């Protein structure tokens, strides 16, 4: 079939009224499609621009929140450093530590059975006083005792805790090793 023959067949088919109505319907549909595309395209571009603006504002808000969190963490760390420096400047003696631990134990209902203290003055390290306490109490009392060690005026850290429990007994026995750090003799008047 040649191109001329095909074109002649199309012209002949176009004479039929239904073919003309179909051709008109196709033309109207194409025109409506062009109009719909002309209306949809700007709205779609506007929507994409709006979504991009929302995403940019969301990123800016997240960055602002992260900056605020970082500032709060920095401020909190500064306060904690000041507290630690104050605790290091408090040069607690062994007698003061014994009294502090005994008072804290009384407040929480913990019985200190024995206590051993060791002065750790190794060359080049932070002066520290190690205490090993043998205690008896219920588990909640021991937990509260350990939690409130940070409320002491000294920088005391729990280094090791061993708790023994027997069935049918409400009282646990334990050994707690606490290290109390003190400021070096040359740091007494220094502040960062």
User: Over the stretch 4-19, which tens digit does the pLDDT of each residue have?
Assistant: 888 888 788 878 888 8
Q: pTM of the predicted model, to two decimals? A: 0.56
pLDDT one-digit tens code per residue, 127-180: 788 889 999 998 899 999 999 988 888 888 899 999 888 777 778 899 999 988
Domain 91-185: CATH architecture, name and number where available: 2-Layer Sandwich (3.30)
Helix axes 94-108, 139-147, angle to 10 degrees: 140
Segments making up each domain of the chain, as ranges: 1-89, 91-185
Q: Over the Cα atoms of the chain, what is R_g?
A: 41
Check: CB of residue 164 under 8 Å from CB of residue 174: yes
């Amino acid at each position: 079939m040649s191109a001329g023959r095909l074109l002649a067949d199309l012209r002949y088919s176009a004479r039929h009224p239904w073919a003309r109505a179909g051709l008109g319907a196709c033309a109207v549909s194409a025109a409506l499609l062009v109009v719909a595309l002309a209306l949809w395209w700007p709205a779609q571009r506007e929507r994409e621009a709006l979504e991009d603006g929302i995403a940019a504002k969301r990123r800016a808000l997240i960055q602002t929140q992260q900056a605020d969190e970082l500032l709060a963490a920095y401020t909190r760390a500064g306060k904690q450093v000041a507290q630690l420096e104050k605790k290091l400047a408090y040069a607690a003696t062994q007698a003061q530590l014994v009294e502090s631990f005994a008072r804290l134990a009384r407040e929480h209902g913990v019985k200190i059975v024995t206590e051993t203290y060791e002065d750790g003055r190794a060359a080049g390290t932070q002066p520290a006083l190690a205490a090993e306490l043998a205690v008896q109490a219920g588990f909640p009392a021991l937990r509260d005792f350990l939690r409130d060690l940070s409320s002491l005026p000294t920088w005391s850290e729990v280094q090791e805790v061993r708790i023994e429990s027997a069935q049918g007994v409400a009282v646990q026995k334990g050994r707690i090793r606490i290290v109390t750090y003190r400021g070096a003799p040359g740091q007494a008047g220094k502040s960062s």
